[in-house]
Amino acid sequence: MPAYKYGIASLLLLGALLISPAASAATYVVPAGPLPPGCSYDGTEVLCNGNLIFGNNDTINVSSPTTLRITGDFTFGNNFVVNEGGNTDDLNIIVEGNMNPSNNGIINANLTVEGSINSGNNTGFTGGLIVSGNLNLGNNSTVSGNIQVDGTLNTGNNITIDGNIDATNVNIGENNTVNGNIEAENVNINGGNSVINGDVDATNSVNNNGTINGDVDSPNVNDNGNITGDQCDQQQEIENEEDRGCSPEGNVEYFQLTHSGTALTCEAYPVTVTACADAGCTNQFAFTGTVDIAESTGGFAASTASFNNSSQTTVELDIPTVGNYQLVTQNPTGEIPASGVQCDSVNGCAITAVDTALRFTNEQSQVAGVSFSLGLEAIRTDTNTGACGAALQGNQNVQFALSCQNPGTCSNTTTYPQAALTINSNTVGTAATAVPVTFDSNGAGTLNVTYGDVGSIALSASTQAPTSATLSGNSAPFVVKPHAVGFTISSNPAAGLTSDFHLANVFASAGENFEVRLTALNFNGDATPNFGNENTAQTLALVNHSLLAPTGSGANSGTLANMNGFSASSNIAEYVNSSVNFNEVGVIQLEANVAGGDYLGAGGINGALNRTSEPVGRFIPAYFEVLSQTPVLVHAQDDFTYYGQPTEFGLNPQWELRAYSTAGALITNYRDLFYRLTSDGSTDGNRFDTTATSNLANVTASLNGTATLQVANQSTLGQPLEFQLVNLSMLFSKPQVPKLPAQADYNITVPASLMTDSDGVCIASQAAPGNCQDISLNNSLIGEAMDMTGTELLDGVVVLNDSYGVDGEPLPVDVIITAYTSVGGLEAYRVNTRDNSTPVTTAWLTNLACAGNTLNAQGNTTVSGGRTGNSFVVDGAATPCEALWQPNLNDLGVDYLRSWNSTSNAWEDPAATLYFGRFRGNDRIIFTREIGW
């Protein structure tokens, strides 16, 4: 995998992409980010001001449940995807303007649009649609959810809607399928091949050219197709209900009667009546009306159950005569049940009325393995008064037996001894077992009961009275639910920790799947064998999680994915899920419960401590990504830098580090004690491999000084982490052969090891998170913009010419700075007129001996236009003399202005002779004068 390489040009291009219409697909993540342009997250919802426009093939993913609010129109191109494969309820989209989908879109969210929706073809909507304006669905589109439209719903061809429709006007096209009911003022089913699998309720008119597999309720029906249900007008007042054609709406599936099954002739017999809305009575329907609870042959007087906007009520029956009876319902008003009565009792709808009986009391939902009390009353009917009295007093042996209702078979206590039932410390099974019970003067006894298993159970009891009469009775069924959920998470380093969670070893990367096993337990911590064997098998699931660390303001609790994907394992009452994952860094705690939060109507598992796991973690990032900025070299002087002259960074080598999950989602919890990058101190500059680019032949680039890696925000919340190298300068070596000016191209490589944390997380890609990559900081991609981030390098050489002066007078000395350039194709060292800053100080000429004279420069100066001219002056010698002047450029700090002597193979300093005294001329010049013939 190549190293990351970034330059200003690439950053400028990135910026252009962000502010101009997308030329390629973009992926956004709400609310974690990156967010669409113009959008922000305030902690509760993602707000996008104005119109929001997406291009073709763009995608929005969901990192955690949120609301996306758009204050203008919502428009997107072809193949736009929102929350594909996610939970529909995790995303609510509110559009305050219109929504304009193009073709082939996938929208998995609950939508509320204050304007209209004008959808293209082949668009799939999953979730509820609430539209204040009109809804126009293009051809071949699908909707999985209920539709509510204040205006008109128009569908194209080949549309499938799985849900109910509520609109003002509905116009159905050709070859449509609606799997739900339609309510509107006007309904027009225009397609001959369109099918409505539900009822149609129109307050004005229905025009049907297709098939309606349900009832049609409307005052005006024009049927040119096929209606398989009844046709009626329930808006019209009709005295005879049967003349209306349609039955009242079937909101009540059946009435359920809950009773004990044994009635005493000496007291009223209570029956609870429930209006069930579905086959399992999972949901109930509240209404206002009545139903009579009676005996099938009229064996006793009926009693009327009254509902006042309620779904459950209780009646009391007077059964004065011993016998066997059968409960029925009669004469319902307000709601007509779809099916017959059902009874929740050991004996179904049968009642046995007796004069003497054992009656259980306090049958309530219980917890497996937790002791509870039941009452047992021995009752007889006084033959003189008809009132109830005590049938037993004192200590009596009573035969008890266990009956498992749901599941219908009790667990084998030989195999699973923890599943046993005990009454007053005596083990009781399905066969009758004698248990001593003490009855008081009122015939009431107390039973101390413990059941180690789960399910709906009932107890039966029988004994003989002193009169030899047999007393017997059955309890009402009651539910025993699990006490706790057991967690098994293999190789979990954080287990057992109560603090210092950051000390845990690595458990998994953020987004990496791990296995969780859940077991339904009783109070003693034993598995409950019957869990999962119910008529409708119960299961366990994860329902929540909490972030234990890191903590602090803004810490991201993250998202726990695949919480419901548990299946039964080979172990009793155990459920396994190997695809759970957490998308953040830190340590968490899991919470589990019975799936749906309710065990056979008895509610979920009590007590948070009984539902939560030990700490789970530590979760770490899957990989890092880096965004670097091209370092900016400033000119060492004027508008250039000499080869061999150190140049500073105007913009230090720096980069941003971002942590990601395996799914490519940005992580925010890589902070504080969970931040594991340790390279935050001084580091030898030689660790960074620096090389010159190919156009700088015979030149090497190196870093001067000791690099200090500074971390801008390692201890603060959030992303990104910012790094920079400081206390560094760059040096490009002076070539031995003359070199023309060139741009300072360079590359700084930060090795992968420096950005690899103590957990082994490094800079990599989502596809190959273990393939660690270096960071490459360079300006090789700048091209025409190179002068923005670099400096021009010049080959400079100092030239000193011989100087002549009168003895006793100061002598100006011209110091010339040359640079190797090309003029008209001719390459040579020429005066560097760009140099206006090289200092020439008195140190250049100090205590120079000249025939007993000591020469010193009179003051400091700076070259101008590449030379000192008359600005660098030497004291005059008192007597005529000459001296060789050769300043040591290395000692003067300008060794980069020396020249290479190819003969001696060494860098050499410039030299010149200073002459003092009357100039006698040049020995090599002969003057002649012609005086005539």
Q: What are the pLDDT digits (tens) for 676-701?
A: 886 544 343 434 555 545 457 777 77
More confident residue, 907 or 919: 907
CA–CA separation, 223 and 413 (whole Å): 65
Which residues fall within 8 angstroms of residue 408, CB to CB, at 6 or more apart? Answer: 535
Q: Hey, how many other C-beta atoms are within 10 angstroms of the C-beta on 460?
A: 19
Quote the mean pLDDT of the chain.
Answer: 87
State pLDDT tens for residues 793-808: 999 999 999 999 998 8
Q: Which residues of 561-570 are buried (b: 16+ CB within 10 A; e: fewer)?
A: bebeebebee
Task: Sort 329 into a burial class: Cβ within 10 Å, 0-12 / 13-18 / 19+.
Answer: buried
Please say if the pLDDT value at position 14 is more than 60.
Answer: no
Please say if the pLDDT value at position 790 is more than 90.
Answer: no
Listed residue (782, 759, 780, 762) closest to 771, CA to CA = 762
More confident residue, 41 or 422: 422
CA–CA separation, 203 and 168 (whole Å): 10
Measured at the CA of 566, the angle between CA 767 and CA 542, to 5 degrees, comes to 90
pTM of the model: 0.61
Listed residue (428, 451, 419, 457) closest to 534, CA to CA = 457
Please say if the pLDDT value at position 717 is more than 60.
Answer: no
State pLDDT tens for residues 811-859: 999 999 999 999 999 999 999 999 999 999 999 999 999 988 899 999 9
What is the average per-residue pLDDT within 270-280? 92
What type of residue is 914? Answer: L
Give percent above pLDDT 70 in the chain. Answer: 89
State pLDDT tens for residues 434-492: 999 999 999 999 999 999 999 999 999 999 988 888 899 889 899 999 999 999 999 99
Please say if the pLDDT value at position 788 is more than 70.
Answer: no
More confident residue, 382 or 298: 298
CB 124 within 8 A of CB 83: no
What is the average per-residue pLDDT within 310-325? 95
Listed residue (675, 759, 755) closest to 506, CA to CA = 759
Q: Which residues of 477-504 are buried (b: 16+ CB within 10 A; e: fewer)?
A: bbbbbbbbbbbebeebbbeebeeebbeb
More confident residue, 687 or 887: 887
State pLDDT tens for residues 724-749: 777 777 888 899 999 999 988 777 77
Place of tokens 């969970």: 674
